[in-house]
């Protein structure tokens, strides 16, 4: 792939201050894009911006304090982006929350609502702002970071996974609604070695990897490479689809312990 595949394009990335979102921002910057990272904590955004500026790239880097679950924050971030950079070609819906671990049957409404608000409605709110501000007229690409959990049953995070499954369906629905102007695709990562998932992978990495066909956990770069493909013209005939990046976790024979 040509190294400058996103030259001059503008990308907004929610949850762009660390982990997968920051990895995607770095990949887009290296590919020539201007990047806008959004997250809740100003300190994290400031250090992420400094890290991004150390990555080779000609594009501008901006940060916005915003909660992915607040539609008014999405509107403000997109307005600021249009004012500063004049376009918005790529919307990455990456921020997510998981305030509840446990059986679905015992879930309380406040935590259920918070999860839906950030993970599911957030994806719609930010996509809608990008669509209305730029993509409806000029086209663009939406990249939704869901989870392989949206495809399988998990003993602990059933509600979070239900919102990720909803993201996969909304990816198809929005692909239908926003074509041919905008393309909408998703990535469903398996376990990726970020802070969010540290408590899951750190104590059990050898056990977890032994079961995987590819014998290792995912990295931020694994997801960033796929997000670059989905944002670029290399995927120009692809919409409504989900790339599963899980080291083969969903390619195991039935009966192999998960």
Ligand X SMILES: NC(=O)c1ccc[n+]([C@@H]2O[C@H](COP(=O)([O-])OP(=O)(O)OC[C@H]3O[C@@H](n4cnc5c(N)ncnc54)[C@H](OP(=O)(O)O)[C@@H]3O)[C@@H](O)[C@H]2O)c1
The residues binding ligand X (CB under 6 A) are 14-21, 39-41, 44, 67-69, 94-97, 118, 145, 147, 189, 191-192, 194-197
Min dist CB 95 to ligand X, Å, is: 3
* CA 231 – CA 227 distance, rounded (Å): 6
Q: Is the peptide bond before 180 cis (omega within 30 degrees of 0)?
A: yes
* CA 130 – CA 117 distance, rounded (Å): 18
Min dist CB 204 to ligand X, Å, is: 13
Q: Is the CB of 40 or the CB of 87 nearer to ligand X?
A: 40
Return left, alpha or beta for 39; rule: phi > 0 is left, psi -120 to 50 is alpha, else beta. beta
Q: Measured at the alpha carbon of residue 126, what is the angle toward residues 109 and 66, in degrees to the nearest 5?
A: 75
Min dist CB 120 to ligand X, Å, is: 11
Min dist CB 2 to ligand X, Å, is: 27
Single out the catalytic residue among 28, 100, 160, 176.
160
Asked if residue 81 lies in contact with residue 14, where contact means CB atoms within 8 angstroms, the answer is no
Q: Is the CB of 136 or the CB of 196 nearer to ligand X?
A: 196
Structure tokens at 219: 């990295």
* CA 162 – CA 226 distance, rounded (Å): 23
Min dist CB 154 to ligand X, Å, is: 11
Give the CB-nearest residue to ligand X.
19
Q: Is the CB of 24 or the CB of 88 nearer to ligand X?
A: 24
Total Cβ atoms within 10 A of residue 35: 31
Q: Which helix (H) or strand (E) holds 190?
A: none
Min dist CB 138 to ligand X, Å, is: 26
* CA 227 – CA 41 distance, rounded (Å): 24
SS3 assignment, position 127:
helix
Q: Is the CB of 138 or the CB of 156 nearer to ligand X?
A: 156
* Closest-CA residue to 21 (of 1, 7, 40): 40
Q: Is the CB of 44 or the CB of 247 nearer to ligand X?
A: 44
* Cα dist from 254 to 57, 138, 250, 257, 258, whole Å: 46, 46, 10, 8, 10
160 assigned to active site: yes
Q: Is the CB of 44 or the CB of 57 nearer to ligand X?
A: 44
Residues tagged active-site: 160
């Amino acid at each position: 792939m040509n190294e400058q595949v996103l030259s001059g394009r503008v990308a907004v990335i929610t949850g762009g201050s660390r982990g997968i979102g920051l990895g995607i921002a770095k990949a887009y910057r290296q590919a020539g894009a201007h990047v806008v990272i959004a997250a809740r904590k100003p300190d994290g955004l400031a250090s992420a911006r400094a890290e991004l500026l150390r990555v080779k790239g000609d594009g501008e880097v901006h940060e916005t304090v915003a909660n992915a679950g607040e539609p008014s924050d999405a509107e403000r971030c997109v307005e600021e982006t249009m004012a500063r950079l004049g376009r918005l070609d790529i919307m990455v819906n990456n921020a997510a929350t998981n305030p509840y671990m446990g059986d679905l049957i015992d879930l309380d409404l406040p935590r259920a609502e918070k999860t839906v608000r950030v993970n599911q409605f957030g994806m719609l709110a930010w996509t809608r702002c990008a669509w209305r501000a730029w993509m409806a007229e000029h086209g663009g690409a939406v990249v939704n970071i869901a989870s392989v959990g949206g495809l399988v049953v998990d003993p602990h995070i059933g509600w979070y996974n239900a919102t990720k499954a909803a993201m996969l369906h909304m990816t198809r629905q929005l692909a239908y609604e926003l074509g041919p102007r905008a393309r909408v695709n998703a990535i469903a990562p398996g376990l990726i070695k970020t802070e969010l998932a540290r408590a899951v992978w750190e104590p059990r990495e050898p056990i977890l990897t032994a079961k995987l066909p590819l014998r290792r956990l995912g990295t931020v770069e694994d997801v960033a490479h796929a997000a670059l493909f989905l944002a670029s013209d290399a995927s120009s005939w692809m919409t409504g689809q989900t790339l599963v990046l899980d080291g083969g976790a969903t390619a195991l024979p039935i009966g192999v312990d998960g």
